Structure 1
């Protein structure tokens, strides 16, 4: 039995309802996305703590979507990234290490796709320029011309990542 909920969650920049249902055949709380709403399945009735399940959903979704966006934007670069991961670092939206490993924060999934694209492009540009000099920002602007709007949504400035 599915219940209507007052809870709403952001996904790729839009707010969607979260519905709950009881499913005694499962062991832990899970969340799926059906294209219109989040469906939270719980093995038992009562108060449900959805925080961890929602975070797990966002982590899985970010691995898939960021992987797709990296593939899309990689064609703009001669240098390739080595690997990427999704993390819970509360100080940065993304990072690029000197060994070409990219990291992204799972909370990027709440923002519009254009904003997520900015962070992907930003980190890919670090493969060419490992700093935030003028050449770096010119490259970001060439690939993602609306980067300043995305930065404003994220609350970032040119001098810091978060």
Structure 2
């Protein structure tokens, strides 16, 4: 594969990973804060789908395309900015994996409450708090990875 095509795909997939993840998370957070059970159920369902369709595929593609680019450039993974980006990426994904599980639970809780015409249960609020607690470090880590990819310090 041509280097420029691979680099373009790598950048586009990182933008999709970041954009789809942050955008859908923001949408779910706002719906959750509204307390409107039916809205939360719909948005949670959509966010789970978005994570599986977009985020999960790019989470797999990013390391593969990054490894390919390192091979083409003959750049060792021990290069400080690359090593730091890998560590931050692993941290972000380690936070994201439980977020996916929480989102599926949040979806089930919201759908059950909506079907019963009830407000969101306390378990939903607990899941939301854990989801935010894991989502914030994942977001910060992805921002830092972007910075490292662009700045290539040191």
> Could you tell me the TM-score, scaled by structure 2's length?
0.30
Higher strand share: 1
Between 1 and 2, higher relative CO (CA 8 Å, sep ≥ 6) is seen in: 2
Higher helix share: 2
> Could you tell me the TM-score, scaled by structure 1's length?
0.29
